C-alpha cells in the first residue's frame, strides 16, 4: 500500500462535518467516494481536524492509502473532477511516508474565527461570519484572551461530548484584531478540545459587548466548569487555516489569501 497526503479546502455549510456519519453527507465521505470513482479502490481518509457541521477549511490535511501508485497531479485533478458539485477542493497531493498520520503527526493547528460587528446584516458573507449587531471592544477582548494563553485545564471551554482523554491543553496563541468591519480571532495550539475555539470566542464576544468584564474570562477558566462558559459561537464563522508537521513529515502550504474569500454564490472539532 502507498500512502498519499492531500490538502483540502471546503465550505462546511452543506456537510454534517468532517467525519463520516449516518445522518448526512460528510467531507470525509465525499472524498472517499471520489477516491473510489477515480481509482476503483476503497480508501479510508483520515483528517488532521474533525471539524463540526458548518465549519470551513482552507488547509485541512488528510491521508489515505492506495494499492498502486497514482501520479499526484492525477490524484488532485481527478478528485476535484469527481467531487463536483460539492464545495470541496483538493489543493495539492503528495506521496507520504508509510508512518505519516495527518492527525497524530500534527504539531500545530491554526484556526480563524470571523465576527462581523455592524448593524447591517451579512449578505455576501452569509454563513461565513458570525453577525453581531453591537460594536465589540477590542481592548477588552484582547485582555480576556491573554488569560487563556498557556497550558491550562480548559474544562470550562470543552463540549460535553468531547472524547479527549484530558482537558489540559496548551494554547499558544489567541490574537484579536480588527480587519475592516470584522473582528478576527486567531488561535493556535498543538491540539484543541471539542468546541474549544467556539467556546472561547463566544465568551470573548460577551466581554466585547460589555456584558462581562475582561476579568470574567480568567475566572471562568479557573472554575473548570462548563456552565461558567459564555455562549457557543456558531460554527459558520470558524475556519481551519493550516496544520503544521515536523520537518520530516509533509507540511501543508500556507493559504495565499490574507482575507478569506467568500464562497461561490452557486453554491467534530474546535
Catalytic residues, which ones? 52
In 130-268, which ranges are continuous DSSP H helix? 138-146, 196-208, 215-223
How far apart are alpha carbons 122 and 132 in whole angstroms?
Answer: 10
On whether the CB atoms of residues 199 and 229 are closer than 8 A, the answer is: yes
On whether the CB atoms of residues 5 and 46 are closer than 8 A, the answer is: no
> Partners of 52 in the beta sheet?
17
How far apart are alpha carbons 67 and 70 in whole angstroms?
Answer: 9
Smallest Cα–Cα separation from 187: which of 133, 233, 155? 233
Residue 202: phi and psi, rounded to 5, are -60, -40
On whether the CB atoms of residues 52 and 125 are closer than 8 A, the answer is: no
CA distances from 162 to 29, 156, 167, 194, 219 (A): 22, 12, 9, 5, 22
How far apart are alpha carbons 52 and 1 in whole angstroms?
Answer: 30
Smallest Cα–Cα separation from 260: which of 166, 119, 129? 129
Smallest Cα–Cα separation from 241: which of 129, 111, 127, 51? 111
On whether the CB atoms of residues 59 and 112 are closer than 8 A, the answer is: no
Amino acid at each position: 500500500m502507498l500512502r498519499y497526503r492531500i490538502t483540502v479546502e471546503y465550505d462546511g455549510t452543506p456537510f454534517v462535518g468532517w467525519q463520516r456519519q449516518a445522518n448526512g453527507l460528510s467531507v470525509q465521505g465525499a472524498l472517499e467516494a471520489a477516491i473510489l470513482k477515480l481509482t476503483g479502490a476503497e480508501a479510508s481518509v483520515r483528517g488532521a481536524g474533525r471539524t463540526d457541521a458548518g465549519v470551513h477549511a482552507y488547509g485541512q490535511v488528510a491521508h489515505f492509502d492506495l494499492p498502486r501508485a497514482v501520479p499526484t497531479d492525477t490524484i488532485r485533478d481527478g478528485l476535484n473532477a469527481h467531487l463536483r458539485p460539492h464545495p470541496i477542493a483538493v489543493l495539492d497531493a503528495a506521496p507520504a511516508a508509510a508512518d505519516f498520520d495527518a492527525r497524530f503527526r500534527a504539531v500545530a493547528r491554526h484556526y480563524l474565527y470571523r465576527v462581523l460587528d455592524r448593524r447591517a446584516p451579512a449578505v455576501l458573507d452569509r454563513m461565513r461570519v458570525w453577525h453581531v449587531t453591537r460594536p465589540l471592544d477590542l481592548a477588552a477582548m484582547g485582555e480576556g484572551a491573554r488569560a487563556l494563553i498557556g497550558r491550562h485545564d480548559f474544562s470550562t471551554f470543552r463540549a460535553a461530548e468531547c472524547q479527549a482523554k484530558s482537558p489540559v491543553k496548551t494554547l499558544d496563541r489567541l490574537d484579536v484584531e480588527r480587519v475592516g468591519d470584522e473582528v478576527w480571532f486567531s488561535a493556535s495550539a498543538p491540539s484543541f478540545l471539542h468546541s474549544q475555539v467556539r467556546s472561547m470566542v463566544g465568551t470573548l464576544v460577551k466581554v466585547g459587548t460589555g456584558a462581562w468584564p475582561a476579568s470574567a474570562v480568567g475566572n471562568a477558566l479557573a472554575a473548570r466548569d462548563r456552565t461558567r462558559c459564555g455562549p457557543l459561537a456558531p460554527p459558520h464563522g470558524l475556519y481551519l487555516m493550516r496544520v503544521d508537521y515536523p520537518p520530516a513529515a509533509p507540511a501543508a502550504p500556507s493559504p495565499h489569501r490574507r482575507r478569506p474569500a467568500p464562497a461561490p454564490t452557486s453554491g467534530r472539532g474546535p
